[in-house]
């Protein structure tokens, strides 16, 4: 990578942009990088990096290990704790559900695991008269419906073959599993540490389902993950949908 120490930042203050690039590199590199690795990742000259690292270390945003490698410092943990206290995930989640309903005119919900059950934590109803009857706060059996299967897949329980397929495609279309007259499309939502926070889902009468909505739901899950500080894991395989029926699964 070509060094860019003398290249001004395109936004804001160049020195701040460079310092933030160092923090981003440490976060992306699992928080443990040598000076050479930081130079390669950021494109900065080592002399520039050393000056930035001195300031970041003084602010305890970066720490230098005895072996000479750099890690994120304790101030990052303090900032993260403050972020969690002030940030309301529900607001972003409900907004994402409203966007799905506006795009499809079908019901959208967000499910999480709660002990032995899956909980409908948030729901926005379809404006249509014929729709599902799942309500916010309802506890459902685990592994039922697309959301339940997605949650099980990332908890590594339930049908392992289906779990592998879900983790590869990162979205699931299921018909007739929770209710013979309903279809459900669900995708995982990831947090800042790569954990699955829940599953966002469309719940649709079977005669109104569109397979193209698998893309819509997956994009909504990815966008919500980014808003919540996370992101979808990189996959080398196709992110196409998985279709299933109550009688079995078809790819």
The ranges assigned to domains in the chain are 14-84, 87-250
C-alpha–C-alpha distance, residues 127 and 107, integer Å:
8
Residue 31 confidence (pLDDT) above 70: no
The dihedral of CA 70, 26, 194, 92: what is its sign?
positive
CATH architecture of 14-84: Orthogonal Bundle (1.10)
Please give the full DSSP string across 146-172, using - where no structure is assigned: HHHHHHHHHHT-S-HHHHHHHHHHS-E
The answer on pLDDT for 23 being more than 70 is yes
pLDDT in tens, 51-108: 999 999 999 999 999 999 999 999 888 877 766 555 567 889 999 999 999 999 999 9
Class of the domain covering 87-250: alpha beta
Query: What beta strand segments (E) does 54-116 contain?
Result: 62-64, 70-72, 107-114
Structure tokens of 35?
Answer: 């000076």
The residues near 61 (Cβ < 8 Å, ≥ 6 apart) are: 23, 72, 73, 75, 76
Helix 160-169 to helix 145-155 angle (10° resolution) is 100
34 pLDDT higher than 60: yes
């Amino acid at each position: 990578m070509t060094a860019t120490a003398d290249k001004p930042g395109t936004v804001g203050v160049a020195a701040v942009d460079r310092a933030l690039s160092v923090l981003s590199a440490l976060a992306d590199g699992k928080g443990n990088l040598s000076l050479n690795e930081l130079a390669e990742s950021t494109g900065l000259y080592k002399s520039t990096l050393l000056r930035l690292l001195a300031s970041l270390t003084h602010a305890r945003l970066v720490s230098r290990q005895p072996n000479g490698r750099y890690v994120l410092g304790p101030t990052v943990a303090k900032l993260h704790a403050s972020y969690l206290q002030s940030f309301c995930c529900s607001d972003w989640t409900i907004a994402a559900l409203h966007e799905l309903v506006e795009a499809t005119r079908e019901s959208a919900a967000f499910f999480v695991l709660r002990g032995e059950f899956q909980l409908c934590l948030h729901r926005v109803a379809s404006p249509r008269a014929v729709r599902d009857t799942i309500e916010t706060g309802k506890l459902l059996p685990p592994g039922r419906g697309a959301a339940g299967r997605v949650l099980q897949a990332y908890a590594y329980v339930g049908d392992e073959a289906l779990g592998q397929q879900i983790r590869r495609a990162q979205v699931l279309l299921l018909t007739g599993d929770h209710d013979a007259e309903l279809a459900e499309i669900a995708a995982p939502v990831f947090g800042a540490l790569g954990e699955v926070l829940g599953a966002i889902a469309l719940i649709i009468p079977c005669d109104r389902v569109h397979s193209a909505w698998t893309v819509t739901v997956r994009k909504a899950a990815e966008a919500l993950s980014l808003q919540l500080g996370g992101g979808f894991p990189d996959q080398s395989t196709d992110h196409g949908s998985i279709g299933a029926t109550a009688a079995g699964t078809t790819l």
